[in-house]
């Protein structure tokens, strides 16, 4: 199994915060066209 690691040593708190903000922003733009997760799960159930 491979482990993904940064080529930069140490932990960059500012970079981590920016990545978290970016992920939250992208999450707000992605929609399920009015469907809920339960709707998607139950879609293929008999």
Would you say residue 3 has pLDDT above 80? yes
Would you say residue 19 has pLDDT above 80? yes
Q: Are 40 and 32 in contact (CB under 8 A)?
A: yes
Asked if residue 19 belongs to a domain, the reply is: yes
Residue ranges making up the domain that contains 18: 13-42
Q: Provide the domain count of the chain.
A: 1
What is the rounded average pLDDT of the residues 13-32? 89
Asked if residue 20 belongs to a domain, the reply is: yes
Would you say residue 35 has pLDDT above 80? yes
Q: Are 13 and 5 in contact (CB under 8 A)?
A: no
How far is residue 45's CA from residue 36's CA, in Å, rounded to a whole number?
A: 15
How far is residue 1's CA from residue 3's CA, in Å, rounded to a whole number?
A: 7
What is residue 20's predicted lDDT score, i.e. its pLDDT?
95
What is the rounded average pLDDT of the residues 18-39? 87
39 or 45, higher pLDDT: 39
Asked if residue 5 belongs to a domain, the reply is: no
What is residue 34's predicted lDDT score, i.e. its pLDDT?
84
């Amino acid at each position: 199994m491979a482990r993904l690691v940064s080529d930069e040593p140490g932990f960059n708190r500012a970079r981590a915060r920016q990545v978290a903000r970016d992920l939250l922003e992208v999450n707000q733009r992605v929609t399920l066209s009015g469907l809920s997760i339960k709707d998607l799960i139950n879609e293929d159930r008999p």
